[in-house]
Amino acid sequence: MGEIQAEIYLDRVPITASNFIDLAQSGFYNGLHFHRVIPGFMNQFGCPHSKDPASRRAGTGGPADGQFKNLATGGMETRSNGGNIKDELISRDSNVPGTLSMANTGSPNSGGSQFFMNVANNSFLDHFSPGQSKHPVFGKIISGYEICEAISKVPTRNDNPVTSCEDELGHDQDVSDEGCLPSDKDCFFEVLH
């Protein structure tokens, strides 16, 4: 199908961006599937339990507790309480189509590895908007947005893709989409920072 490239906002949300880049470069996202797809809303990715697209635990996991380097400051940051990072509610980038945003449980400091690609104007999810949902934007798709849109249109049942949507982040090789997209061609997501 093609390639998705994203710009990561290291200068705007350095903790969130550094966490994402660390996970991508370490291979954490390799072999994971999109576990939540809501047409006209977003595509969610990044749960380690989604390696098995039929897992009932898909959408409930995160990375291991530990540390990672803040690429903006050179200091160390912590993942704790189930691999979560502290909320970084400092940038006023909005959840508009094509942006990447941290997923969380709705509780403070509960984001870890899961993120979503907005396919609609979801400004009601902005941390600076009224309401309880607070999802900071940490990047935007700069190439391949049509693939993101295609993923958002796959058949779903209870917001889960009926066929697996496999993706891989941060490697220079193609990955089979296993029938997720309306093409037999490969889908690849590249992290640029």
CA–CA dist 2, 21 (Å, integer): 21
Note if 44 is an active site residue. Answer: yes
Q: For this structure, is 68 an active site residue?
A: no
Selected catalytic residue, list 10, 23, 125, 181: 125
How far apart are the C-alpha atoms of 37 and 152, rounded to whole Å?
6
| DSSP H helical ranges for 62-188 | 145-151
Q: Which candidate in 41, 70, 109, 171 is catalytic?
A: 41
Task: Identify the active-site residue in 12, 36, 79, 127.
Answer: 36
Known catalytic residue at 125: yes
Q: One of 23, 28, 35, 44 is an active-site residue; which one?
A: 44
Give the active site residue among 28, 68, 116, 138. Answer: 116
Residues 6+ apart with CB under 8 A from 164: 33, 53, 178, 179, 180
Please tell me the distance from the alpha carbon of residue 161 to that of residue 116, in angstroms, as a whole number: 14
124 is catalytic: no
Tokens of 117: 């690609």
Locate all alpha helices (DSSP H) within the chain, ordered by sequence.
Answer: 14-26, 145-151
Quick one: 18 exposed, middle or buried, by C-beta within 10 A (0-12, 13-18, 19+)? buried
Residue from 23, 32, 135, 169 carrying the catalytic annotation: 135
Residue 173 among the catalytic residues: no
Contact 53, 164 (CB under 8 A): yes
Please state, in angstroms and rounded to a whole number, the distance separating the CA atoms of residues 121 and 123.
6
79 catalytic, yes or no? no
Set 43, 84, 104, 122: catalytic member: 104
Is 104 one of the annotated active-site residues of the chain? yes
Catalytic amino acids? Answer: 36, 41, 44, 104, 116, 125, 135
